[in-house]
Amino acid sequence: MKRFAFAVLVATMFVGGFMTTGCETSHSESDTPGLFGGNKHEETTTTKNPVTGDVNTEHKVQKTNP
pLDDT per residue over 5-44, tens digit each?
666 766 666 655 555 567 899 999 999 998 888 999 999 9
Residue 31 in contact with residue 40, Cβ under 8 Å?
A: yes
Query: Which residue type does 26 have?
Result: S
Alpha helices in 1-66 (DSSP H): 2-20
Rounded Cα gap, residues 40 and 54, in angstroms: 30
Nearest to 60 by CA among 48, 47, 44: 44
Domain assignment of residue 58, yes or no: yes
Q: Considering the entire predicted model, what is its pTM?
A: 0.59
Give me the domain span that covers residue 34. Answer: 23-66
The pLDDT, as a whole number, for residue 35 is 83
What is the pLDDT, as a whole number, of residue 14?
A: 63
Instruction: Provide the β-strand partners of residue 41.
Output: 31, 62
- Residue 31 domain flag: yes
Is residue 3 a part of any domain in this protein?
no
Domain count, the chain: 1
